[in-house]
Structure 1
């Protein structure tokens, strides 16, 4: 595909993120490609889904995936968070960290890649909210709803063990003082019969150990007040 656009073309933005298996962006059919700034944009493209950009991409910011020239994971993340909304941007950052395509030390290099670019102020704020312990965009979105609602979890990937040290389960988000866990239930990891059985067994162990479990879905994250309201009700239950 990039060969049809000539030498120097590079896969960028959302398409590069997909090739690097970085999650968190809305699926789209567009294929994002950048051409060198000194080359005119093609007047007509044979593929209507190709979106042509002219980003300044240094050679050391280009890698190869499946035989295609692609911006490196670090450069891809920097480009994406300049354009994405807050929730999507933090999801991308969390995913890149969790999947280890970028490291914590890499993140400190991102501000330099943002200097002088539109969206840099917001992108730097997104960086400050990154947490690579989130194992899915749904976990990230659930955490952000809690933060926005004034009930941030005090731990992610909370390990609950019995007195002998046996691991009873791991909670996605936890409030230790209240012995409360919130689970972000994505459709794919939880839809098989085996997964359903394992989820129920794990939840029973946690409940028997004195923990309360709340469960949230992607649809719940689309309702700004629902998750924090539910968490607050669990943290401060009405007296009986």
Structure 2
């Protein structure tokens, strides 16, 4: 499932672009929140839609259903009353597992600003909203900030859940992924983490030095096909890159140890 925020696209053009992502289904709160999923895995029922939040009931395969709310808080403080009041209204009528995630455009503490600036004027309303809804921050792994413009950095994006959701998905992990061309970093919520597999497998790392090798582009073109899905392309590339790194490029980590043993 993929959630995109602040898309600035609506109408036929939005649907045309959403279709190109390769998902079977999607829901567009046009211009603001896009939610895309594969119905082979997810059963999604949109219960409530607003320009600043979309509330859904989800079921993954044969798992028990739970509730998920995607939030995009307006950058204008005066308009951010809507998501806070909306979440409170949802909480009043909900007793089962609930996860809320997205760009709240508000920080919880000065830690979310790197300690370099104060809190926004609606900080208290944000904190009170989470308390009233019984929602707690899930934490994260990775870089500490989700948005950066110049020297200004903030953690504006997060996942918060109620106790029932946290208990059901006790191994869930939030990961801040590397920033690409956006001011924001992508955030990945992994619901089930296989601790055994995680401890036995080394994470894939893309080495910038690969780009200097004359055969890199050829290896990439061979293992990236337009006619297959993004997930399969990524998997194929990682597997091929590991082999290519060892057999063609050479093990750069081993070479570093040989040249600089200390």
Would you call these one fold, judging by a TM-score over 0.5? Answer: no
Higher RCO structure, 1 or 2 (CA under 8 Å, sep 6+) = 1
Greater percentage in helix: 1
TM-score, normalised to structure 1's length?
0.31
TM-score, normalised to structure 2, is 0.29
